[in-house]
Every structure is written in C-alpha cells, then in structure tokens.
Amino acid sequence: MSHLTNTRLDSYRLPESVLQGVRALRFEYATPIQEKVLPIALAGRDVAGQAQTGTGKTAAFLIAGMTHLLEKPAPSRRRGPRLLAIAPTRELAVQIRDDAEKLGAFTGLTLLAVFGGVDYRKQRDSLRLHPDMLIGTPGRLLDYEQQGATSFSDVEVLVVDEADRMFDMGFIRDLRRILRRCPPYHKRQSMLFSATLSPRVMELAYEHLNNAEKVEIEPERVGAHGIREILYHVASREKLPLLLGLVESVRWTRTLIFVNRKTTAAELVAALEANGHPARALAGNVRQDRRLKILQEFKDGKLPFLVATDVASRGLHIEGVSHVVNYDLPQDAEDYVHRIGRTARAGAEGDAVSFADEEYVFSLEMIEKLIGRPIPAQIADPAIFRKDLVASRLTRPHGHGGPRRAGGPGRPGPVRRPPGAHRAGPGPRRSAPAPPATSSEPTETSYGRSKGRKRR
C-alpha cells in the first residue's frame, strides 16, 4: 500500500475554510483510507472503516464532519454538540482534539474535549457554552450528560473511533447508552473506525449505523506496511540484558517500549535510567497532567525512551518513532497490531522488536494467526547481551524455569526466610534466635508467632 494516492484533497468539494486548514498542515494528496471514506462521508452516508493506524482516518472523519457542520445551518437553539466523537482513551481524545484544532483553525467552529484526570468543574462549565464539536471518553461524556451539563439530542454527526478498543476496555455498555441518547441513526450521520473490524464491532455498526458502507484498507496485511518485524525467543531473565545490548549496538533515537503491567513499567524505567538511558513510564496510574508532559517530551525528542502499558498503544500519532519494543508480548493479539502501528507512520519505515519469554510466548500463535504470517524470528548473538549495571528484579529468574505464580502472575510471592536469616536493607539487625527451649512452652520463631500465644 502506498502512503499517498494520486487524488488531491482539493479535488473534493470542501468549504474554503476547511481547505485552508488542510493547506496549513501541508496535506496535498489523500491517503488510501481518505480516498475511500471521503466520497462516502461527504455524500452524507454512514461509514464503517478499517485501516492501519497512522493512515489518516482521523483527518478523514474530521474533514467530513466539519464540512457537514459548515454546509448545514446550525439550529437556533440547542443544548449539546452538533458533532460528537467518542474515543476509548484520554490520549486518543487529546490527539483528536489537537488534530481538530489544526484542521478547523479557520472554520470558526468551537470544540471541547472531556476526559478524566483534569479539572472536572472546569470541563463542566465549558460544556455549558455548547461547543459545536465535543470529543471525549465514554465515562466522562455519560457523566456530564446525566448531570444535565450537555445533551446528545442535537448530534448531527457521530464518530466512534477505535471501536474494538471499547470492547477490550469494558466501555461498550457506556457506549451503547450514549448511542441510545443520540438521535435515531436515520436522523444523523455516523462514522465508525477501528484498526480491526471484528464480528462484534460489525454487530455494533449494524445496530447503530444506517446501512453503513464497509471500507477496508489491506486487512490481509494487518500492521505490516513499512514495519520491519523481528522476534527473539529469550528467557525472562535475559530480556533486560538483550534490550540493553540492542539499544547500545544500534542508535535508537525514539523508542516506545510496551509492557503488560505498570509495575514492570516502573522497574524497567529504573533499570534503563540506572544504565544511562533516560526513560519515563506512561501507565494508568500516572496523573493526566504528568502524562501529557511526558508525551510532549517524547514527541519533542527530549525523551528517547518511553515505557508504556497498552493505555498508550492506541491513537497516538508521534512522528519519528524509530523502534517499538514488545518487552512483553501482548496477551490480546489485536494489541500487537496497535502497538507496532506506533512506528512507520505517515509512510515512514520503522522497526518492531518483540521478546517471547516463557510467560507470554503462548500468545504468539494468536498474534500470527491474526496478522496472517509468522513474525520473523532470530537468535540473538550471545555477544550482544549486556550486563545490567545495577541489581534489578527484571533480570531475576522466575525459578524452576517458569513464571512466578505466587502473589499473581509474574509477581513475587511472600518471602520465606529460615530461622536466623536477616532482611536486606538499612536498620538494626536482629541477632539469631536462641536455640529452642526444651520445655513445652510455646516460643516465637522468625516464621511468626506460634498458636496460643499473643504478642505483647
């Protein structure tokens, strides 16, 4: 698939104010998804579109939606937005808002994005101004609607982005409630987009869209275009030394590393920092203002390594990501597509490196079945492994050749120390307990209190 087609964007019948925004962003030719979606959407028909991430689908629905709003007179009285865009994550909502601000800079249309992690009252007060376009996550949108801060009854254009992620993240119930509060499907224009159009996503489209036209862009080569994929089969304790070796052997300018747990993200950031590689973590427990700052530093090239859970794997358009690393293989096959789609965006090329260890290798078969091909595997040269400069739990073997199970998957269970053993760390050390008394009176050991005796 070529990144651009021969179709010029100014060949479509677009308002001059929209064309000004297109020219300001230096968009000249349509991408394949835009070439297929725009004729349908500009004619007022519904669309269910599948495309690889980074192919311009956001611009497609924004251009079509803004054109609709500008060509149709606004109602004299309304209580809510005319265009409603629903996104599964805060990051994606912010990305859509930023793109809308740039494309709509000359239109005079007002917009607002609402999501968790920022001032609740400030967003609610802004909603009372009735912006033309409202972008948000399902939970926050539904919350404000139920409080009467906004209404979905005036929606003329509805957009559901990353629809399959709505299912994955458990937002489908809230999404359906929002859709039921919008005008009937035959009284609005609806557009649904997703990196994968699974049967459950298409069922959603059949229920809430008006005979939507299905648009697909190379579904048989999901996530492949422009991405050099490579897979290493390694033990869990070898992943950090291999990562350090790869980072030092080849210049990785802007690297996005995915893990499955926020605890792993924190540990990996500490290990990278200790080995001289500046890194930050982007996970669900990071405050929204801090999260946006980290993303901006990564986009600006000030931060070379970003370690993220799947909260950041959808919808983020970051130019120039040279490498994506699946430090942990995703347990959901579709997340593999979304993760590696962070590189090779906008026609560029990039590398996707995956580690398959004893804990997550079981998802490899599902991933390869989804993408329709095996991921090229390679044996790592033993000379490339680098010794971690500091002790790290990430390099500690699970034991018995398998993953740790106590305390949860991959998490250390309670430590059992024999009598007389000492806990590592600062502070006074206890002397070893005296030999057990010969009497039958209960005694305390380092294992804890014996039954029948209370601690004083």
Could you please report the per-residue DSSP string of 358-375?
Answer: TTTGGGHHHHHHHHTSPP
Average pLDDT of the residues in 369-377: 91
DSSP 402: S
Model confidence at 441: pLDDT above 70: no
Model confidence at 66: pLDDT above 90: yes
Distance CA 263, CA 379 (A): 28
Distance CA 442, CA 452 (A): 8
| Confidence band for 334, pLDDT divided at 50, 70 and 90 | confident
Confirm whether pTM is higher than 0.85.
Answer: no
Please report the pLDDT score of residue 312 as a whole number: 57
Is 133 in contact with 110 (CB distance < 8 Å)? yes
Residue ranges per structural domain of the chain:
9-220, 227-395
High-pLDDT (> 70) share of the chain, %: 80
For 18-36, write each residue's pLDDT tens digit: 999 999 999 999 999 999 9
For 391-437, write each residue's pLDDT tens digit: 555 554 444 444 444 344 444 444 444 444 444 444 444 444 444 44
For 237-290, write each residue's pLDDT tens digit: 999 999 999 998 887 889 999 999 989 999 999 999 999 999 999 877 778 788
Domains 9-220 and 227-395 alike in fold: yes
- The CATH fold assigned to 9-220 is Rossmann fold (3.40.50)
**What CATH number labels 227-395?**
3.40.50.300
Please report the pLDDT score of residue 59 as a whole number: 95
Distance CA 271, CA 275 (A): 6
Residues 6+ apart with CB under 8 A from 148: none
Please report the pLDDT score of residue 164 as a whole number: 85
For 197-227, write each residue's pLDDT tens digit: 888 999 999 999 999 999 987 654 555 568 8
List the strands of the sheet with 157-160, edge to edge.
111-114, 133-136, 83-86, 157-160, 189-194, 47-50, 213-216
